[in-house]
Structure 1
């Protein structure tokens, strides 16, 4: 029987954590009763440097349900993608299969059973995919669709309408842990693993409680990180745009010379200033874009740990981890 670990990254989720624990424990009990997972399957909450009582609540849940609820406390806030990675890498030696899900309960826990069924059919990665985006605002729905289309144009492989609700077999997590990037974009990394995959579809719900931890600023940062971490096409596009402007500049030069020799010289102060501003802005854009790539190289070559684990709660025994190789994850 396969042992399941449900990995839940948490940042300031005190309002919803108890609800999430109850719902996920119910899922574990149901799947265990049906004989689809091992009885020692568990939930692994990852506290991403929360400023509220999230870690205290995780400790309370672990004390009340030591066999079903475990926890990882990160030494500081490192962001959703790093926190999720910390949970996956920590859980991979404790279980046979993992499922990652956010604590807000917007992803439908009822389809976890279907994910397990697809896993038993031989799929190493099972993606949770939203059927539609009717619950989103017009702005969020439009920008999300534009994001996926843009990622496709840039050559980045992603699963449309999939976030980070997914099942991964142990060997899939083992392969994922070999990726050394500091600039993480898990939605683009998973298709690179190459094992057999499947999709399950569900309707996304409203948050059970609390506020979204992914405002527009973070969403835009994630989108840019995904594009710049997996594609150099933006630089190629800037190069192509530069060549196109040079071409039109040559045409403008020919027109200017023609006007000069035919005596139809018209004062062009406005067009001159506009062209200077336009080309200056384009140059700054190109320099800034290239600078972003250089900055990513700078971050990667330092090879600093992606996160530090301060404490692990597992099997009713608290294990303090003091900056060991297991805690300072760089794999």
Structure 2
């Protein structure tokens, strides 16, 4: 018989735990399939773990995996994927912006159509702010341009995956995976289920603008060498500009029209210095990834697991290490 695992990363979600469980449990009970819920606490500072353990007393299917520190959303997902035992694994956040009721159509679609991935696609994002909708659209447009057409338009981290997909993800050596890009890049047969995104059930967003930008940088550098090519073109353009300035200076000197001054020199130094710093920064992003890969440090360490068999220490490093967990970027 098919079994289902639901993986949900949590960070300071004590106010949302009860409401999330009240919505999720009836959905899973009505499936008529064996299931488990793997709640991964990402080093919460509030009573999230206490609420989860209290719920587990009356809900044996709830499994609590607590990380020793806040490792970030993607690392928490990695821990949950390693712990999950189901034939199908659903990843969903606890803020109820993605409705648990969509899980049933996801399972039905996967079984009836024989696909390995079912994406939750946000057909209606009116609950999000205008700024969030515009930045999300820009993110997915940029990723399609740089990474490829396999990137969906509005598919985040709410998805169903077969055991085959999860095993591949757990075996990847990638240090900073961005799962919303990694999963579609694998090329497994897929389908989509549309839904309307709701407002956050409690608390505030755990993903401010700075972390959204960090995710975008990680996404770009993980799937494209375009920034390095931009650095190359900036270097070529600056070289041509310097040649033009040299020719102009020699021409002015030959005509006796040179005037002592610092403005042109000041502007040129600032321009070329800025371009050089941009290029060094882009190179540094890639060198930093190489450095992290050579260190091979664990992305997360498990404090305890009520299921008892999650591995630790070799999961891919988080693209948002130290970042808050609970609400996705786009």
- Say whether the 8 Å CA contact 2:126–2:197 is kept in structure 1: no
> How far apart are 1:237 and its partner, in Å?
0.7
- Superposition RMSD on alpha carbons, in Å? 1.8
Please say if 1:55 is aligned against 2:49. yes
1:35 aligns to what?
Answer: none
2:314 aligns to what?
Answer: 329
1:151 aligns to what?
Answer: 143
Q: Deviations over 1:142-195 (max 9, x none)?
A: 222222222223225522222100000011101111111221211111122221
Q: 1:41 aligns with which of 20, 35, 38?
A: 35
Distance in 2, matches of 1:244 and 1:133, equals: 41
Distance in 2, matches of 1:109 and 1:95, equals: 17
Distance in 2, matches of 1:112 and 1:266, equals: 74
1:82 aligns to what?
Answer: 75
Distance in 2, matches of 1:134 and 1:330, equals: 36
- Say whether the 8 Å CA contact 1:86–1:329 is kept in structure 2: no
1:30 aligns to what?
Answer: 30
What pairs up with 1:246-257 in 2 under 5 angstroms?
246-257=239-250
Q: Deviations over 1:116-147 (max 9, x none)?
A: 12211111011111114333323222222222
Secondary structure of the residue aligned to 2:14 is coil
> How far apart are 1:308 and its partner, in Å?
1.5
Q: Deviations over 1:239-282 (max 9, x none)?
A: 11110121122223223333333344355531221110111111
2:59 aligns to what?
Answer: 65
Distance in 2, matches of 1:204 and 1:147, equals: 18
Secondary structure of the residue aligned to 1:51 is coil
Please say if 1:20 is aligned against 2:12. no
2:115 aligns to what?
Answer: 123
Listed as ranges, the gaps of 5+ residues in structure 2 are 317-330
Provide TM-score, normalisation by structure 2.
0.90
Please say if 1:269 is aligned against 2:262. yes
Q: 1:197 aligns with which of 190, 195, 202?
A: 190
Secondary structure of the residue aligned to 2:220 is helix
Higher relative contact order (CA 8 A, sep 6+): 2
Q: 1:114 aligns with which of 82, 102, 105?
A: 105
Distance in 2, matches of 1:17 and 1:101, equals: 13
Q: Deviations over 1:211-243 (max 9, x none)?
A: 111111111111111111222210111111110
Secondary structure of the residue aligned to 1:126 is strand
- Say whether the 8 Å CA contact 2:75–2:315 is kept in structure 1: no
Distance in 1, matches of 2:145 and 2:256, equals: 47
Q: 2:86 aligns with which of 81, 86, 95?
A: 95
Q: Any runs of at least 4 consecutive aligned residues in structure 1 with deviations exceeding 3 A, and if so which?
A: 262-268
- Say whether the 8 Å CA contact 1:3–1:95 is kept in structure 2: yes
Q: 1:231 aligns with which of 180, 201, 224?
A: 224
Aligned length: 314
Secondary structure of the residue aligned to 2:267 is helix
Q: 1:280 aligns with which of 254, 273, 282?
A: 273
